[in-house]
Structures are given as C-alpha cells and as structure tokens.
Amino acid sequence: MQTYDNIINGKPLASTETFESYNPATSEVLGLVARSTDVQIGQAIAAARKAQPAWAALPDANRREYLVKAAAVLEENAAYLAELVTREQGKPLTGPGSQFEIQACVDWTNVPADLELPVEVVFEDETRRDELHRKPLGVIAAIAPWNWPLLIATWQIMPSIRAGNTVVIKPSEYTPIGTLEMVRLISKVLPEGVINTVSGDGTVGRRLCENPDIDKIMFTGSAATGKKIIQASSENLARLTLELGGNDPAIVLPDADPAAIAEGLFWGAFINQGQTCACAKRLYVHEDIHDAVVAKLKGLAEAMPMGNGLNDGIVLGPVQNRRQLDIVSRLTEDAKARGATIVCGGNSIDGPGNFFPVTLVTDIENDAPLVQEEQFGPVLPVIRYSNTDDAIGMANEGDTGLGASVWSSDTEKAAAVAGRLDAGTVWINRHGVIHPMVPFGGAKKSGFGLEFGIEGLKALTQPQIISISKAEAA
C-alpha cells in the first residue's frame, strides 16, 4: 500500500508513524499517510523560514511567473488530482464536483498572479509625501479542511506566496492525500522551501500554530477548532484569518417564481452534499408559495443520482466521514421527534459508504436544533413564514453570519431585505457563488479576516509607511 509523505524543502520526508485515509463511498483504505512528528514540524517551519527572505527578495514579476507555472501544473495533472479528490473526499468527478474543484484551483492560482499591489500615496502636500508599501509577513501556517481539500488549500497557499511569504500547510486528517499530492506536484516548479507540508490530527495543527516562527495562521473549519487556534496563537501573537463556517439562511419572498428559482436553491443548499460553509442551511419561504417551492425541490432531490462519484451519471456523493454522518443523523432524528415532516429522505442508507439522501424537512420551528445548528450535510429545514420582518428576524438569530441569500422577482425589493441581514455576503437569486476577485469573509462568529481579490492579498502583507520630507536637507 502506498505511503504519502510530506514535502519539506522540496523533498519528500517519511515518518515513523502513519495513519490511514479512507474512501467515504466504499470505506476502503486508500493509502497510508505520514504522521508528522514534533521534529518534522520544526523542520518544515525552519525550511519555510530559511526560504522566505530570498523568495521575498525576488522581483514581484518573478513570483507572479511562478504562480503561472503552478497553475499550468494543476492543469496538466487535473485528471489525476480530480480522481484523488473523488476517492478521498467523495464528491463526484463531474458536475459541481472534483473536476470543478481542480479547475477552480487553477483559477484561484491565476487570479493572484494577475493582481497588482502598487505603492499607495496616502498623503502628500508641499512638505511631505507619505507612501504605503506592502511587505510580506513571513511564514504562513495554513490549515485546510476536508470539504474542499484542494481548493481551500489553494486559497491559502497562492495569495500567500504571491505576496512573498512562504507556507507550511496541514491538510485535514480526513483528506490528506489529495492535498499532499497537489503540493508535491506544484513544489517541483517552485524554489525549495516555499511550500512545505505537515500532516496528522489536531495535535499537529496545535504544534504548528503555537510555533514562535509562525507569522500568520489561515484556517477554515469549525468554530470550536478556531477557538483552539486563537489560544495556540497567543504563544506567538500570529495574525489570523479564520473562516469558521456558518448556518446560512435563504429567504424566499412571496413574489418569487418557484420554478425559476428551484435549481439555484437546490445547488445553493446541496452542492458537495451540503458540506460547504456557505451552503444555504435553513430556508425561509413565504406561506403563499411554500408548498410549491418544496414540491419543486422534492422533484429535484428525487431525480439526482447518488453513489460512488467515480461512476457515470452520479451527481451526489457520500458524507465525507462517519463523525459528520452521525451529526446529520442526530439532527434529523431530533426533528422527527419534534413532529417535523420528512418530505423526502430522512435516513442514512445501509452499506459500506457514508450515504445520506437529500432530505427536506418542513413543519419545523425556528428554535429546533436542525435549524439553529450547522448540520453541514444534505438536510434542509424549510420554515414557513407570513411576514417578511419575521423572516428577517429568524434569519438573523444565532451567532454565525457567513452568508445569506434573498430570492425574488424584484431585485430592488430583494436588495432592501439583503441589507438587513447579518452576513458577510448576501446573494440575490443565487447562493454561495463566490469569485476569486470578490472579497469573502464572515460576520459575527463566522470568523474574521477577508480572503480573495485585492483585499485578501493585502491581508497577507504588513503595511509599511515610508514618509519622505520634501524640505531640503540641512
């Protein structure tokens, strides 16, 4: 059985300890993965620290050229990497699945390569000129999740190195192979030490975050883990960008056309089997069109083939791991016990894989755990409302605020509602549609810091003011 090693200073590094990675559709073991020791974590950080000054000293145009080379490597290896993602994460190859994820990796590599970060003149008069320059921070610790294991790793890596930083990335212990293989491939076209990896469980992540040579931490994942990262970073006062998930509401106004919005709503909720931070996870539908919207969604749910994503025609895969499957099952069973109606789905599917069908739940109160907790799976509670103010109030309940959406035939009316929602991004007549040039980040306890575009790139730099006197030298 193949063992997947870490990449440190451009070379593979084996470990005396390994762990297994599984296929969530079949439960088969895919391979063994090196478990980083404390010594190896230190070696990875030291390699990044050693490489960073020379990398930062390169002309900006040269670093941008390296990113273009990395994007080409991703293109050349797209089929190989997509199959790894399907085997390890579970999303199907086609549709909004693994091939989509790898192409997005290419796009999120090329865009930072195109961005400009010019010197800004922040003040000037007859006596002085004050310029804002942007310098790299140093060594970035990146901790990637299991739901989009290559794409989110790309979000963390590429802007970081574009800005002149070096990176040590830890993939999720549930999906390490694809991320390790992506780094192995792109490291071949980068100078040694620019990207390094460590792998293992949360202990490895904690050791990485608390190291005094880490200058910034980027993390996407749960709020509980985010709090642990904040505690660990108190040792080194590292800067933080934390995307801590959400429980995104979608509000359907009474003038919406159920047939026109059904497909957008469906994929806004169930892309990647609902395992996306910015998926719609609770749906508020006006009573006038509630039944029609639910009927359209039910028709789509029952028509979508689910199974092993390597098979032809499959568009929905498994829940990635048993722990998450248990959460989805628990919340669904609680809804049943409260008297909610299961419109379709409702029970995990027997077999070796972690399959749970698309499940629509109606006749449920807003205070039910299925509504108030982020289920992060293929279950959508649908709450009937009669007054828009009430819908907005329910949507704003809770302590998360990553995304939200409003659906209406009247864009101006939808925009007025959108402005009243507590979320970092509010989409109108779509949900979760991100773009590499559009800043993305959460409100409330969905984290802090921005990613993507110019704002995301700036977040990976240290501003430096150079103040120039115009007075003649004495």
Domain boundaries, the chain: 3-244+446-465, 248-428
How far apart CA 93 and CA 396 sit, in angstroms, is 36
The CA distance from 431 to 200, in Å, is 33
CA 473 vs CA 128, 151, 467, 469: distances in Å? 13, 53, 15, 9
* pTM recorded for the entire structure: 0.97
Could you tell me if residue 376 is left (phi over 0), alpha (psi between -120 and 50 degrees) or otherwise beta?
left
> What pLDDT score does 94 carry?
94
Predicted confidence at residue 471, as pLDDT, reads 84
pLDDT recorded at residue 235: 86
Q: DSSP assignment of 279-299, as one string?
A: SEEEEEEETTTHHHHHHHHHH
Per DSSP (E only), the strands in 364-438 are 379-385, 400-401, 403-407, 425-428
Give the number of residues written for the chain.
Answer: 474
Burial class (CB in 10 A: 0-12, 13-18, 19+), 22: buried
pLDDT for the residue 291: 98
Pairing status of strand 11-13 against strand 6-8: antiparallel
From 210, 243, 374, 451, active-site residue = 243
Give me the residues of the chain with pLDDT under 70, please.
Answer: 472-474
277 is catalytic: yes
| Same fold yes or no, 3-244+446-465 and 248-428 | no
pLDDT at 472: 66
From the list 101, 173, 209, 277, the catalytic residue is 277
Tell me if 310 sits within 8 A of 327, measured CB to CB: no
3-244+446-465: CATH number? 3.40.605.10
**What is the per-residue pLDDT for 231?**
95
Task: Give the model's pLDDT for residue 473.
Answer: 53
pLDDT, residue 25, reads 98
What's the confidence (pLDDT) of residue 245? 87
CATH class of 248-428: alpha beta
* Cβ-based neighbour number of residue 366 at 10 Å: 18
Q: Is 124 a catalytic residue?
A: no
In the beta sheet, which residues pair with residue 31?
Answer: 21
